Amino acid sequence: MGIQGMELFAIGVVIILFMAVLKQFGILEPMSSFEDSSDSDLELSTVRHQPEGLDQLQAQTKFTKKELQSLYRGFKNECPSGLVDEETFKSIYSQFFPQGDATTYAHFLFNAFDKDRNGSIRFEDFVIGLSVLLRGSVTEKLNWAFNLYDINKDGYITKEEMLAIMKSIYDMMGRYTYPCVRDEAPSEHVDKFFQKMDRNRDGVVTIEEFIETCQKDENIMNSMQLFENVI
Amino acid sequence: MASGVAAWLPFARAAAIGWMPVANCPMPVAPRDNSKRQDELIVLNVSGRRFQTWRTTLDRYPDTLLGSSEKEFFYNEETREYFFDRDPDAFRSILNFYRTGKLHYPRYECISAYDEELAFFGIIPEIIGDCCYEEYKDRKRENAERLQDDQEENKDLKLPNMTCRETMWRAFENPHTSTMALVFYYVTGFFIAISVITNVVETVPCGATASQKDVPCGERYTVAFFCMDTACVMIFTVEYLMRLFAAPSRYRFMRSVMSIIDVVAILPYYIGLVMTDNEDVSGAFVTLRVFRVFRIFKFSRHSQGLRILGYTLKSCASELGFLLFSLTMAIIIFATVMFYAEKGSSSSKFTSIPASFWYTIVTMTTLGYGDMVPKTIAGKIFGSICSLSGVLVIALPVPVIVSNFSRIYHQNQRADKRRAQKKARLARIRIAKTGSTNAFLQSKRSGLLDELLELTGTEADEQKLSKSVSLLESQHYHLLHCLEKTTAHEFVDEQMYEQNSLETALQSGPSRSPSPSSSHGDSASTCCGCRARRKGTALPDPHPNPNPLPLPGPQPPHHHYHHPQQGPLQELSAIHIQCGDPASHKTSRSILNQKAEDGSRINCRRGQVTTAIISLPSPPTLDGDGLHGPPHQRRPPPPPGPTQGPPPSIQTTSSSSHIVKVSAL
């Protein structure tokens, strides 16, 4: 029996080798069906996006022509294709926070900038968002912040959403902080936030509550003006 | 901070507004950008090629030349651009670094040139991007090896004070240093060969005696072979002990491979001596004889190729290990398969798996002795697969080893080539050096000529001579001149120096008055080169020189060397008098010897004179062109010089600039 087994085995090996040789001649096609997906790689992978004209952008935003030019140069330098996808955005933003993990917050930021939710930020989105942040009125800025916190964009900030945001902010700090970031720190911070913001104690913060509370808070109002002259 | 994404910093800061409502404490004040100006274009002109970039691009890296205020040194006001006299091709990568944040190393660029450019622009090479870093490191390593080779060659220069031990060690390591070493080298080589041949011939059966079968020669001529062996071992022992004595670090020497080979080569003999002809140990003794073959490795000191091979094998250890591992795996697999395939066949040689190992190895290396062959069909199929795969498995790591060997071999060849060219290279360098020294001496003489011509007033000649040296050269010569003055010694070329030192060796006493070519013993080092050339001109020549040009130079030194009895001070001071203001001399004693001093004074103008004199052991108060010397003892200055050139009334103002005018008198 052992001999039989070995001979069968030997014959099996021979057949496999034979098929390998046949494949070389292209006679045996069935094996090649697995490699069809390579064709799809041939399509052009990069799509170039051209922003709207300078004048239109100038109309839409509050930046001067030179500022727009300078912004666009920086933008195009980092993203030659004219579109920022989420991965690139995360990597760029993470470079500013080397100690911690900025990817989660970057994700939220990305969603805040990507108004039409198509997975990539164009220069127009970028510049319009910046215009609000740098040249907008306080109300517009607060609106933007609310939009950032409201992850599902339903008009209400729930505790879970705020917790996610808070955690992502604390993540950016990283491990080496003084004093050490305790695990409960984000949720405590969220509680404090809700105490301040949630007027009617219904567990969610609406846009009116948010704006109203912020306008009453000195610190927040001052800090909103902080980045006026970034560009 | 990633400067490459510096353009996005404003965005990151703007996005920070998202934290504001959440924060509980007030925010710090933002830094004000006071120097806020519109971003402007900077023009960088690098050897004519204009590069332009934004100022902020360069400001990204403030600790480099272009990013700091250091570039202001290169600012050209008229053209309003920064001009750098550097290589524009290399500058491309440097500017790209500012733009993209990644430094690339172009392959076509020479590594040392690139390093220089980086050093100039203040960029550290460690930030070269990953894509180019390996290449950069490889090239840098090759360059370092080449430099190391050069340095090692230079170390061959013989140091003057080497102890006997150091000389011996050098002789051992490099047999070309002396003939003794070479002799030793060849003798040891010869004896190694003899020893190896003896070992081989020992086992050849030579002529059967009547009674027995063929006996090996070793047993027939025991005494002869024993004597030969003894002689060789003695030589090797002596050599080993000498090496051990001469080694700078004996411990390290004893651990080195070559010394271990030496020991292993000679040990069996001594062990054999010690051991008696015991039956049980003689078997072991025979085994020991095997180690005598290690003597052949002693040849590696004599052959560079062998050393390279050894070094290659050592450096390819990992590839060899991989080869071994893969072979072992394959052997085990195929041996198992063959064993089970052949199990059924009768009288099969494949008695066990280890027994099949032999078949597998022989087949995989395509040896195929044929002592074990499969008989079943399955066995034959697997056997053929085994031989085919053997070829592949062995062929894979071999090119790696070969390429390693080739690289090391070529490196050695390069070193040899460089050593061969070294002579030519050194000769070239020497010629260049002597050429420049000769040019300097030449210009010195023509400087004398020039000044004399000024005096004689021949304009045409003066112009002819003065234009032969470029501004750069004349400044260089002036520098060398100053050095001469400072050290109170003069430059001469080799032959003059040797001649002079020869002369000083010959000359013993001070009886040098009449001989112009005499040189003061102390001043040998300062012999003016011209002086020796003018050996023939007799100094006590009262006639005015028909040809004033050649003589003035050499004369003054001769003058003063005629009075070796005079204290050096006096000669010095004598000169000073002469070289001083002529007006004042009129009142000095020198007037009495005016005639004699005429020539000297004229010569002083060249400024050459003082150097020659000052070379004498002068008191510390005197230096350079002489300052105040203890002048009180004055003897008459040198005898009437032969150079009765222009009358002393000729102003020597031109010369005063060379000489410090202080006359002790």
Q: Beta B81-84 vs B41-46: how paired, if at all?
A: parallel
Average pLDDT, chain B: 72
**Does A5 score more than 70 pLDDT?**
yes
Distance from CA of B414 to the nearest CA of A (A): 46
Q: Does B324 touch chain A (CB under 8 A)?
A: no
Provide the 10 A C-beta neighbour count for residue B364. Answer: 21
B33: nearest CB among A3, A98, A229? A229
Mean pLDDT score, B495-521: 58
Q: Does B20 touch chain A (CB under 8 A)?
A: yes
Would you state the pLDDT for residue B622? 38
Residue in B with minimal Cα distance to A96 = B1
**Are B15 and A133 within 8 A, CB to CB?**
yes
Would you state the pLDDT for residue B280? 64
Residue B489 one-letter amino acid: H
- Top mean pLDDT of B124-128, B177-181, B534-538 is at B124-128
In chain B, which residues have their Cβ closer than 8 Å to the Cβ of A73? 7
Would you state the pLDDT for residue A31? 52
User: Could you tell me which residue, B164 or B532, shows the higher pLDDT?
Assistant: B164
For A217, half-sphere exposure in the C-beta direction (CA atoms, 13 angstrom radius) is 22
Residue in A with minimal Cα distance to B37 = A231
Cα(B233)–Cα(B298) distance, integer angstroms: 13
Would you state the pLDDT for residue A127? 87
**Per-residue pLDDT tens digits for A108-118:** 988 888 888 88
**Are A78 and B7 within 8 A, CB to CB?**
yes
Peptide bond into A186 cis (omega under 30): no
Cα(B591)–Cα(B585) distance, integer angstroms: 6
Would you state the pLDDT for residue A30? 57
Three-state SS for B45? strand
Q: State ipTM.
A: 0.77
pLDDT tier, B480 (very low <50, low <70, confident <90, very high otherwise): confident
pLDDT tier, B500 (very low <50, low <70, confident <90, very high otherwise): confident
**Per-residue pLDDT tens digits for A165-185:** 888 888 888 777 777 778 888
Q: Compute φ and ψ for B43, nearest 5 degrees.
A: -100, 125
pLDDT tier, B584 (very low <50, low <70, confident <90, very high otherwise): very low
User: Taking phi first (over 0 means left), then psi (-120 to 50 degrees means alpha), and beta for anything else, what does residue B366 get?
Assistant: left
From A128, A134, A9, A15, select the one nearest A75 (Cα to Cα).
A128
Positive or negative, the CA dihedral A51, A54, A60, A64 is positive
Q: Confirm if A220 and A210 have CB atoms less than 8 A apart.
A: no
User: Could you tell me which residue, B71 or B491, shows the higher pLDDT?
Assistant: B71
Mean pLDDT score, A50-70: 84
Cα(B94)–Cα(B117) distance, integer angstroms: 9
B377: nearest CB among A10, A109, A193? A10
Task: List Cβ neighbours of B590 (8 Å cut-off, separation of 6 or more).
Answer: B577, B578, B597, B637, B665
Task: List Cβ neighbours of B457 (8 Å cut-off, separation of 6 or more).
Answer: none
Q: Compute φ and ψ for B45, nearest 5 degrees.
A: -100, 110
Average pLDDT, chain A: 82
Q: Does A176 touch chain B (CB under 8 A)?
A: no
Q: Does B22 touch chain A (CB under 8 A)?
A: yes
Would you state the pLDDT for residue B85? 92
Measured N-to-C along each axis, helices A2-24 and B317-342 cross at an angle, to the nearest 10 degrees, of 130
Would you state the pLDDT for residue B613? 38
**Does B538 score more than 50 pLDDT?**
no
B17: nearest CB among A66, A193, A227? A227
Q: Does B13 touch chain A (CB under 8 A)?
A: yes
Q: Confirm if A162 and A174 have CB atoms less than 8 A apart.
A: no
Cα(B230)–Cα(B236) distance, integer angstroms: 10
Q: How many CB pairs lie under 8 A apart between chains A and B?
A: 126
**Are A141 and B378 within 8 A, CB to CB?**
no
User: Could you tell me which residue, B210 or B24, shows the higher pLDDT?
Assistant: B24
Q: Does A28 touch chain B (CB under 8 A)?
A: no
Provide the 10 A C-beta neighbour count for residue B130. Answer: 7
In chain B, which residues have their Cβ closer than 8 Å to the Cβ of A109? 15, 18
From A200, A117, A197, select the one nearest A151 (Cα to Cα).
A117
A6: nearest CB among B8, B25, B340? B340
**Per-residue pLDDT tens digits for B368-401:** 999 999 998 889 999 999 999 998 888 877 888 8
Q: Confirm if B359 and B350 have CB atoms less than 8 A apart.
A: yes
**Does B437 score more than 50 pLDDT?**
yes
pLDDT tier, B148 (very low <50, low <70, confident <90, very high otherwise): confident
pTM score of the predicted model: 0.52
Would you state the pLDDT for residue B158? 58
In chain B, which residues have their Cβ closer than 8 Å to the Cβ of A227? 13-14, 16-17, 30
Burial status of residue B421 (CB atoms within 10 A of its CB: 0-12, 13-18, 19 or more):
exposed
Distance from CA of A165 to the nearest CA of B (A): 10
Cα(B308)–Cα(B406) distance, integer angstroms: 10
Instruction: Determine what percent of chain B is predicted with pLDDT higher than 90.
Output: 15
Cα(B403)–Cα(B293) distance, integer angstroms: 30
B30: nearest CB among A71, A144, A227? A227
Cα(B358)–Cα(B342) distance, integer angstroms: 14
